[in-house]
Amino acid sequence: MNKNWVLVTGATRGFGRALAFEWIRSLKLLPDGSKLLVTGRDESKVSQLVEELLEKRPQVLVAGKVLDLNSSLIESDINSLFQQEEGNNYACSYLVNNAGTLGPLGPLEDCDWKTISCYFYENVVTTVYLTNQYIRSFGNSFRHVIHISSLAGIEPLEYCGLYCMGKAAKNMQMRMIACEHKNDIRTLNYAPGPMETDMQTHLRDNLPSGPLKTQMVELWKRGQLVAPSESARKLIGILETGRYENGTHIDFYSDNAC
């Protein structure tokens, strides 16, 4: 039976955690004998997640790695992720770029040099490098790169300037890879919808007053926020069918979402 390799970054909470549990259930994307690698900032949470995933599917090799995108050692940490996979013989491989931060909430002009440079280093530079290393390391498999995107990557959301710009940059990264690797790499920008996560709570509590804050509060009050597990199942369905245009953007609410 063919084996696959999967890396989900930022997997210890929120959507990343939900996606890891949905992925472990997919016999199509993760046949027995495959490897699922999950990363997060907190070593204890990574270890706990690995244990829980193994309980679900002991037939899969589950491994965890502490990966802090803001660490001064991030380059070597990323390199070590893939060095241990040299000579791999997987049929398909998947990189899910989920890790990231929201950044400051307020007028864009209030961001100083350090805030701007640190944000893009952590949320764009490291992701581009991580993806490049993945592409170089897994040439023997059919590669897939999934960016967990957002409406913010397409439309401006007030007081979320750096977040919007970072998402837009990574959206274009997926389109560029699809353009340059039409036949051997598939990429997807998936926006999981407004979910009930720690990030959503932070937005409600800390956004300056305005239409976006009002909208977020109303979605929460009406119980209209998406459960991370529901959105994760939607993404798994899309990947299992494979019916999406290379480099495209699919929203949780899109008609072409499974």
Within a domain: 95? yes
Comparing CA positions, the residue from 99, 71, 75, 139 lying closest to residue 7 is 99
Within a domain: 182? yes
pLDDT value for 254: 82
DSSP state of 165: H
Relative to beta strand 142-148, strand 248-251 is: unpaired
Domain that holds residue 186: 4-195+227-251
Within a domain: 216? no
Within a domain: 122? yes
List Cβ neighbours of 87 (8 Å cut-off, separation of 6 or more).
none
pLDDT value for 257: 56
- Domain holding 36: CATH number? 3.40.50.720
pLDDT value for 84: 79
pLDDT value for 87: 64
20/114 Cα distance (integer angstroms):
33
Which residues of the chain register pLDDT less than 50?
258
Within a domain: 158? yes
Tens digits of residue pLDDT in 45-88: 999 999 999 999 999 999 999 999 888 889 999 999 898 787 67
pLDDT value for 72: 86
Q: Are 53 and 80 in contact (CB under 8 A)?
A: no
Within a domain: 89? yes
Number of domains in the chain: 1
User: CA 194, 197, 198 angle in degrees (round to 5)?
Assistant: 130
pLDDT value for 70: 85
pLDDT value for 2: 87
Within a domain: 201? no
pLDDT value for 240: 97
